[in-house]
Amino acid sequence: MILWLVFALMTAAAVFAVLWPLARGRGEGGGSDIAVYRDQLDEITRDRASGLIGQAEAEAAKVEVSRRLLAAADSAEAEKTVREDSPLWRRRATAIAGLVLLPAGALALYLTIGSPQLPGEPLAARMKAEQNNPPIEALIAKVEDHIAANPDDGRGWEVLAPVYMRLGRFDDSIRAWRNVIRLNGANADRESSLGEAMVAAANGVVTAEAKAAFERASALDKTDVKTRFYLGMAADQDGNRAQADAIWRDLLAGAPPGAPWVEIVRHALDRGAPSAAANATPGASPAAPGPSAADVAAASQMKPDEQNQMIVGMVARLADRLKQDGSDVEGWLRLVRAYKVLGERDKAQAAATDARRALAAEPDKIRRIDELAKELGLNG
């Protein structure tokens, strides 16, 4: 009801704005201005006669007021001409049209694009709905306040830990999982979740501390899928591709039908299998561990979090290894390709430059780097 009253008042204001100029009498407007200016001229004459102002000031004031009086007279004459040219019936028709069409048009527009059929929702109901469905930030803040007052509440820490992980607050997730284990005790899921948060915080690298957490989880439950996957990832990053392949193949062999993690493990297995040693020709050196362009392209179809787990760590580890030993041209080629496939052109160019610097004494290897850079369009 209040809404319709507001609409009615707005419409009345619009109608009044249209009808007011049409309703003004012929003597209104410029005539009142003329009377004011004439009074001012008379007042100047009185002030001069009484000696309040000098002759020069009086003449200057009369000139200015006379100029305004003439302008007002011209304006009144023009208005009078317009009004005389506009018949009364025309002004009345315009007034009636404004009175009828403005409200009718407003109502038609509202019925067309508005939602009059929706029931009203009082403020109290809206506030109650917001209280029943608060934003995630408000919920987290509420639990954090509770934890601040009760730091030994293991249940509260266990609520926060996975939420921090999903929000990308990896360091907070690590701290929360450590508190969960300290207060609630260790089990395979908690230890593996702690290790997973450590891997995420390290941009996909299974650090020694994370590996230790996965090993503790494995000791508690050797069948835990998450633990086994990350242990395979740790072996792969350490260059033990045969062990990684064995862990991941064993995971696939025991996977239940429709397991959602099967594709992730298959992508991981594709990264290390077939191993370089299995496909190497006699006398050839094994390929350096690290993702190939095909591996990265395949994993690019995965979710962003999975990509970080599956790719970024391998690329970072390969880059670190090449900084220590830059003589591996195959490793440099893989690194440049990986950066290009990931869309990191600047890093690919920097890697090609580093490769040329590290292989400066070996022209044949530099030529291969140059050919790859040209192929990938990195020279421009």
**370: Cβ–Cβ under 8 A, 6 or more apart, which residues?**
356
Map residue 284 onto helix, strand or coil. coil
- Kindly report the CA angle at 21 between 19 and 27, in degrees rounded to 5? 130
Per-residue confidence (pLDDT) for residue 59, from 0 to 100: 80
Strand ranges for 151-228 from DSSP E: none
189-218 tens-digit pLDDT = 999 999 999 998 887 888 889 999 999 999
Per-residue confidence (pLDDT) for residue 320, from 0 to 100: 80
Which position has the token pair 């009369």? 62
Per-residue confidence (pLDDT) for residue 83, from 0 to 100: 53
Dist CA 65 CA 50 (whole Å): 19
Query: What stretch of H or E contains 295?
Result: helix 293-299
Is pTM beyond 0.75? Reply is no
Dist CA 197 CA 193 (whole Å): 6
Dihedral (CA of 68, 72, 77, 78) sign: positive
Low-confidence ranges of the chain (pLDDT < 70): 1-4, 7, 15, 18-32, 76-92, 94-95, 98-99, 102, 114-134, 271-313, 380
Dist CA 248 CA 241 (whole Å): 10
Per-residue confidence (pLDDT) for residue 24, from 0 to 100: 54
Map residue 134 onto helix, strand or coil. coil
